């Protein structure tokens, strides 16, 4: 499990939504840097996690996130940042999030459930498996030839 980053302990400034942005709650992780979120404007959107976040920030189901809306595709959005539990509570206290918004009480660091694991390159692993198979076969045959020599 990954530990906290040093910079996470520093209080970052609370980021409020601007025009063209919306707060949302993660419904479901879809893998491949995508997730389904219920935006607090009442629209369910397919959200894309940009590369920078994808490598650094673990996003889990029911996390509160800030998304950038797309003018030309209302059903899609881009994840701008993930709020931690304290920040989400602050947003609620400021009236930025609706009362009914359930906030994860604890921040999860490191992978949580299986559904949070992101498979970036599905389908690229087949040849790796074949390589492993052939190298195992090679080792086994070397092993047996050594046994035969010394047996």
Token pair 């074949």: residue:
130
Q: What is the pLDDT of residue 25?
A: 97
Residue pair 53/82 in contact by the 8 Å Cβ criterion? yes
Cα 86 to Cα 133: distance, rounded to the nearest angstrom: 48
Q: What is the CA radius of gyration of the chain?
A: 22
Q: Among 14-18, 80-84, 104-108, 126-130, where is mean pLDDT lowest?
A: 126-130
Return the bridge partners of 22, or none: 67
Highest-confidence range of 34-43, 53-62, 97-106, 113-122, by mean pLDDT? Answer: 34-43
Residue pair 31/119 in contact by the 8 Å Cβ criterion? yes
Q: Mean of the pLDDT values across residues 49-59?
A: 88
Cα 74 to Cα 76: distance, rounded to the nearest angstrom: 6
pLDDT tens digits, 2-41: 555 555 556 789 999 999 999 999 999 998 899 999 999 9
Query: Binning pLDDT at 50, 70 and 90, where does residue 125 land?
Result: very low
User: Is 50 exceeded by the pLDDT of residue 112?
Assistant: no
Own/partner long-range contacts of 11-20 (Cβ < 8 Å, ≥24 apart): 14/87, 14/90, 14/91, 15/66, 15/81, 16/91, 16/94, 16/96, 17/66, 17/96, 20/68, 20/69, 20/71
State the average pLDDT for the chain: 81
Percent of the chain with pLDDT over 70: 73
pTM of the predicted model as reported, rounded to 2 decimal places: 0.64
Token pair 């947003």: residue:
91
């Amino acid at each position: 499990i990954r530990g906290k980053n040093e910079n996470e302990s520093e209080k970052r400034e609370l980021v409020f939504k601007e025009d063209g942005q919306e707060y949302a709650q993660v419904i479901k992780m879809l893998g491949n840097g995508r997730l389904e979120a219920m935006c607090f404007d009442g629209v369910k959107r397919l959200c894309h996690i940009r590369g920078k976040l994808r490598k650094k920030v673990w996003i889990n189901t029911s996390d509160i996130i800030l998304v950038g809306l797309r003018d030309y595709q209302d059903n899609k959005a881009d994840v701008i940042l993930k709020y931690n539990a304290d920040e989400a509570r602050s947003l609620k206290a400021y009236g930025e999030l609706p009362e009914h918004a359930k906030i994860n009480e604890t921040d999860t660091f490191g992978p949580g459930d299986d559904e949070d694991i992101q498979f970036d390159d599905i389908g690229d692993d087949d040849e790796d498996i074949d390589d492993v198979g052939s190298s195992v076969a090679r080792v086994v045959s070397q092993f047996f030839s050594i046994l035969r020599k010394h047996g």
